[in-house]
A = this chain, B = another copy of it.
């Protein structure tokens, strides 16, 4: 029997989006053959595998920004639908601008949905306690405003774009989206500063 390493399982998980045990079982059944395991997953209608397979076909580019002192850097994955748009100059410029923006504005998450629910609940609690002395009928409204301001500090898509603060990052992406006719999205980003790592 072929040896099923944790790395093989990890890679198969990434590829299919299936659970750990499911991946192990499939790889074992396929005697370690990834192609065969994927076919097995599909035959059995394991939906996530199909979903992920569709997503793996995504186009886009990886862009980085390094500060002149080489002590700070960012990297992001910007997705579109086709290689044609991935090679478009405006798309490339957007990737560059976003890498710079992430350096300057230090977001913690790409989108609101990425913020852990517990953090949102905690922020709401804090904001509600801060408006305890305001008239009851406007408390919620003020707290909502504070939460929205908090999102615009911490969430990339909600931040003011550093090159033009009359727009949010989301606005800028939507504009390129409209001009290229393709759905464009930030998949993920990393931001490293020397001394902040382990």
A interface residues, Cβ below 8 angstroms from B: 3-7, 10, 14, 55-64, 66-67, 70-77, 79, 86, 108, 110, 119, 122-123, 126, 130, 146, 150, 153-154, 187-188, 190, 192-198
Residue of B nearest to A95 (CB): B70
For this complex, 13 residue pairs linking A to B, each with C-beta atoms less than 8 Å apart, are: A3-B130, A6-B123, A58-B195, A62-B72, A62-B73, A63-B73, A74-B75, A75-B75, A79-B194, A86-B194, A110-B198, A187-B198, A190-B192
Choice from B58, B75, B79, B195 contacting A64 with Cβ under 8 Å: B75
* CB contact under 8 A between A194 and B77, given known A70-B62, A108-B10: yes
Q: Are A108 and B7 in contact (CB under 8 A)?
A: yes
Q: Are B71 and A61 in contact (CB under 8 A)?
A: yes
Q: Are A150 and B6 in contact (CB under 8 A)?
A: yes
Rounded to whole angstroms, the CA-CA distance of A86 and B74 in the bound complex is 19
Q: Are B64 and A73 in contact (CB under 8 A)?
A: yes
Q: Are A55 and B154 in contact (CB under 8 A)?
A: no
Q: Are A153 and B5 in contact (CB under 8 A)?
A: yes
* CB contact under 8 A between A64 and B64, given known A192-B75, A198-B187: yes
Most chain B CB atoms below 10 A, which of A4, A6, A130, A197 = A197
